[in-house]
Structure 1
Amino acid sequence: MHRRTFFKATTGIVAAPFISKYAFADDTIKVAAIHDVSGVLDILGKPMASMVAMAIDEINQAGGLLGRKIELVNFDTQSNNQLYGQYATEAATRYRVAAVFGAVTSASREVIRPILRRYKTLLFYSTQYEGGVCDRNIFCLGTTPGQKTVKIVPYAMKKFGKRVYTVAADYNFGHIVSKWHKKVVEENGGKFEGVEFFPLEQTDFGPTLKKIQSIKPDLVMADLVGSNHIGFFRQWTAAGMSGRIGLASTIFGTGNEQLFTNPAEHNGILTSATYFPEIDTPQNKEFVARAAKVTGTDRSPINELPAMSYYAPKLWAEGVKAAGTFDRDKVIQALEGNLTYNGPGGPVTVDGKCHHVSHDIYIAQAKNHSFELLEKYDQLPPSDTAAVCDLAANPNDTKQYVLGN
C-alpha cells in the first residue's frame, strides 16, 4: 500500500486554508485544524486531519452546538514547522477560530502553543508525547510516558531481557522519552545500554544496526517517527536481527508502520497505545466502519493519533455544552470540571489541574498488518504531568516540565 493513498482527495485539505460549506454564515462558529498533511510526516498528519473533519461533520449532522454549525478551516503545514507559526497566527487573527485542533510533533506544538496562548485561542493537542506541558490554554489528549512507558518497558523486559538499548527521533520527544526509558529500565533492575537519535530525514540505519549487533542488548526500544524511519524496521529484518533481539516501541503503529511493512518485518514487535482498531466492542466496530468511508480502505489506518484527533472536537463540544457558550475561559472552566467523553476506544476524563486525560492503555504485538491485544490497563491517570503541574494553584504556569529538571 502506498503511503499517500489512504485518504480520498475530497477531504478538502490544501496548503492554503480551505473553508467548509458553512463559511462566513452568521449561524456558524469557526475552528481550525493544523496538521502535516504532506511531507515526511504525512503518514501521521493526514489521518489526524481527516478524523478531526469527521468529528466536526458528526457534530454538525447532530444539529451543531448551541444552535450553530461548526465551520472547519484546515491548514496543511507540509511538515514545515515555520508554517505552523504562520497558520496558527492566521487561524487566531484572520479567522478568529474558537479552538485549534492540531500540531503533530512536539516540536510543532511548541511553535504554536505560545502563539495561540497570546491570542487566547484554545488548543487541543492529540499526539501521544513526552508529557510535562503545563499551560491553561491547552488540553492534551495524547498519552504520556507515565501512562505508556511505565507499562510497556517492564512488559518487554520480562519477555526479552533486561539489557535495553534505545533508538529515537532526534527532537524533543525522542530526547525526553529516552530519559524515561532509562529511568524505567533501571527502576526495574535492568541495564540501559545507551541511546542513538536520528533526524526525521534519516533513511540509512546500517551503522546503527552494526552497533546494536556489537552491543547485543536483549531489547531495543524504537521510538522512531515518520515515513523515513520506517526504513529502520525493514533494514532490521534484512540484517537478520528479527527474532534475535527483542523489539518494542511506545509509538509503533502511530505511523501505520504495520501497514507499510510486510509481516516478516513487523511480526512480534511490541507496542502500546490507548486505541487500536482491533478493540472488540460494538461502538468501536461502528467507528471503524465510519472511518473506512473517510479513509477509502478496508485496512484501517486509524490508530491512537487519529482516534484522539477524533476525540478532541467531541471533548471540546462537551465543554461548550457544559459552559453554554463558546467563550474560551468558560469552556476551559467547564472542561476543568473533570468532564468525560466516552469514545469508541474507551472513556477519557480530563484532569482539571493539569489539562491531560486518563486513558485505557493496551499492550499489543504487531501481527500480519494488524495488532493482537495482549494486556489492558484501565483508566490510567496522567500521573507524570499531574505530579509537576497544578494549574488550579498556578493558573499562569506555561512551562513544560522535563524528567530530571
Structure 2
Amino acid sequence: MKLTRRQALGAFGAATAMSFASRLSAQEGPITVSALYDQSGGLESYGQPIVDALRFAVDEQNAKGGLLGREVKLNVYDPQTNMQLYAQFARQAALSDKPAVVFAGITSASREVVRPIMRQFNTLYFYANQYEGGVCDRNMFATGVTPGQTVEKLVNYSAQQHGGKVYIVAADYNYGQIIADWVKKYTADNGGEVLGTEFFPMDVTDFKTSISKIQAAKPDYVWSALVGGAHISFYRQWKAAGMLGKIPMSSTTFAGGNEHVILTPEESNGIMVCQNYLQELDNPLNKQFVTDFHARFGANYPYITELGMGAYQGFRLWAAGVEAAGSVDRMAVIEALESGISLDAPSGRVTIDPKTHHTTMDVHIARVENGGLIPVETFEQQPPADTAMVCDLIANPDDNQQYVIDF
C-alpha cells in the first residue's frame, strides 16, 4: 500500500513519539512497590491472599500502560511471622528497593515494627489490614476496617438476634485486647453484659477448658477475635463439643485467613462476620473482578479475602494519588491522597479520609454457609469514626502515634 506524504509524516511522528516514550520509561526505570507479608510461619493463610491481590493489582495497572508511562514492579518479602525479619526486610526494602510505597504487616505488632522504619527512611507506607484503630501518622494510610465500622454493627446485630449476654475469646496481643474492649463498650451501650473474657497466645491449640467455661456461663452468643492457624483448633473443638448451633458465634476476624474454607461446613456454618468485602457481593464491578482474578489465579482459588481486597484497594488508591500528583514523590502523593481521593471498587465506594488517612467504605454482615459468606445486611459508607475521635492530621500533621481510644 502506497502512503501519502501526510500519512508517512504521521506514521514517522507516531513512531518517534513511541520511541521517545520507550526511552523515557527505560531511562527512568520501573516504579518499585515493596510488600512484606507472611508467606510462612503461621500467618501464611492471611499473607498469601494479600500478596496475590497485590500481584493482580500490579498486573492490572501494567496492562493499562503502567503509572506515568512507567512499569510497576512488585518486590515481595516473606518475614515468616517473625518480627526481627520484619525489621530486617523493612530496612532492606527501604534502602535497597527505594520503593515509591511499601505495603506491609498483618498483625498490629508487625505494623508497629514497620511503621517507624518507613518514617525514618521517608518511605510511604500503606497498612491494608483490619485493625483496632487509633494510628495517627501522616506517612501511613490504613485501608482496612476499624472497630467503629464493623464491631459496632456486629455487636448490635448479635444482641438484637440473640440477646445481650456475650462471652469473648480473643488473641492475646494488641488487636485482640483492644477489640475486646470495643466489644465491651458496644455491649454496654446496648444494655448487655460481658460474662467472661479470655485471651490466648497465638500458638495455643487446646481450648477445651475455655469451652467448658463458656458452657457453664451460658451466654447468648460468643464473640471470637481469635487469629492465626493455631486458633482454628477452637472452632473444631467447639464443633466436637456439640456447641456449633447451640450458642451462636460472631466474629470480625473469622474468614480473614480463609477459616471458612479451611474448616468444613459442619465446623463453621452459621458463624456471623462483618467485613468490607465479600466475594459474593452482587455488583458488576465485583463480578468482573472475581472473573478476572480467577482467570489469573485459577478457577479453584480458595476465596478472595477481605484482607486481599484491602491491599488491592490500597494499591488502587495509591495509584490514583500518583496519577493526581503526576509524580511518585512521597509528599506530592500524600497531598494528593489528602484531597479525599475516592474510587469505585469491588466492595463499593472507597474514599480516603484526609484527617485520619483511613477510609470510608461499605461494610457487610454475612453468614458463613458452605464455604461462602452470604450477605445479610449492608451499611453504606461508614467513616473511620473511632480513629477520627483522636486523630486530625490536617490540624496536626506532625502527629505520630497510636492512640488507645478512651471510652
TM-score range, shorter chain: over 0.9
Equivalent residue in structure 2 for 1:228, among 219, 227, 230? 230
Provide closer, same or farther for how the CA distance between residues 136 and 254 of structure 1 changes in structure 2, counting only shifts above 3 A: same
* Alignment pair present for 1:140 and 2:142: yes
1: distance between equivalents of 2:274 and 2:34?
A: 29
2: distance between equivalents of 1:124 and 1:135?
A: 11
Shift of 1:25: 7.0
3-state SS in 1 of match to 2:87: helix
1: distance between equivalents of 2:119 and 2:365?
A: 35
Task: Specify the code of the residue in structure 2 equivalent to 1:263.
Answer: P
3-state SS in 1 of match to 2:168: strand
Shift of 1:216: 1.2
- Match of 2:11? none
2: distance between equivalents of 1:92 and 1:27?
A: 17
Matches within 5 A, 1:4-403: 26-298=28-300, 300-403=302-405
Q: Identity over aligned residues, as a percent?
A: 48
1: distance between equivalents of 2:292 and 2:199?
A: 38
Shift of 1:294: 4.1
Provide closer, same or farther for how the CA distance between residues 195 and 295 of structure 1 changes in structure 2, counting only shifts above 3 A: farther
1: distance between equivalents of 2:222 and 2:394?
A: 39
- Match of 2:18? none
Aligned residues: 383
Asked whether the equivalents of residues 364 and 375 of structure 1 are also in contact (C-alpha less than 8 Å), the reply is yes
Asked whether the equivalents of residues 292 and 300 of structure 1 are also in contact (C-alpha less than 8 Å), the reply is no
2: distance between equivalents of 1:361 and 1:74?
A: 29
Provide closer, same or farther for how the CA distance between residues 196 and 24 of structure 1 changes in structure 2, counting only shifts above 3 A: farther
Cα RMSD for the two superposed structures: 1.4
Asked whether the equivalents of residues 56 and 70 of structure 1 are also in contact (C-alpha less than 8 Å), the reply is yes
1: distance between equivalents of 2:26 and 2:310?
A: 28
Q: State the TM-score, normalized to the length of structure 2.
A: 0.92
Larger helix share, 1 or 2: 2
Asked whether the equivalents of residues 220 and 248 of structure 1 are also in contact (C-alpha less than 8 Å), the reply is yes
Q: State the TM-score, normalized to the length of structure 1.
A: 0.92
Asked whether the equivalents of residues 166 and 193 of structure 2 are also in contact (C-alpha less than 8 Å), the reply is yes
Asked whether the equivalents of residues 104 and 114 of structure 2 are also in contact (C-alpha less than 8 Å), the reply is no
2: distance between equivalents of 1:260 and 1:248?
A: 18
Task: Specify the code of the residue in structure 2 equivalent to 1:259.
Answer: V
Q: Write the deviation string for residues 15-60 of structure 1: whole angstroms up to 9, x where unpaired.
A: xxxxxxxx99743111101100112100000000111111011111
Shift of 1:67: 1.3
Provide closer, same or farther for how the CA distance between residues 173 and 24 of structure 1 changes in structure 2, counting only shifts above 3 A: farther
Asked whether the equivalents of residues 390 and 405 of structure 2 are also in contact (C-alpha less than 8 Å), the reply is no
Asked whether the equivalents of residues 280 and 373 of structure 2 are also in contact (C-alpha less than 8 Å), the reply is yes
Shift of 1:305: 0.2
3-state SS in 1 of match to 2:401: coil
- Match of 1:13? none
Q: Write the deviation string for residues 52-82 of structure 1: whole angstroms up to 9, x where unpaired.
A: 1110111111101111111111101111111
1: distance between equivalents of 2:269 and 2:257?
A: 16
Asked whether the equivalents of residues 256 and 301 of structure 1 are also in contact (C-alpha less than 8 Å), the reply is yes
2: distance between equivalents of 1:334 and 1:131?
A: 23
3-state SS in 2 of match to 1:259: helix
3-state SS in 2 of match to 1:302: coil
Shift of 1:297: 4.3
Asked whether the equivalents of residues 176 and 403 of structure 1 are also in contact (C-alpha less than 8 Å), the reply is no
Provide closer, same or farther for how the CA distance between residues 224 and 317 of structure 1 changes in structure 2, counting only shifts above 3 A: same
2: distance between equivalents of 1:122 and 1:396?
A: 15
Task: Specify the code of the residue in structure 2 equivalent to 1:256.
Answer: N
1: distance between equivalents of 2:272 and 2:351?
A: 26
Structure 1 runs (4+) deviating above 6 angstroms are none
3-state SS in 2 of match to 1:147: helix
Q: Write the deviation string for residues 141-180 of structure 1: whole angstroms up to 9, x where unpaired.
A: 0000010011000101111111111111111000110000
Task: Specify the code of the residue in structure 1 equivalent to 2:105.
Answer: A
Shift of 1:295: 3.7
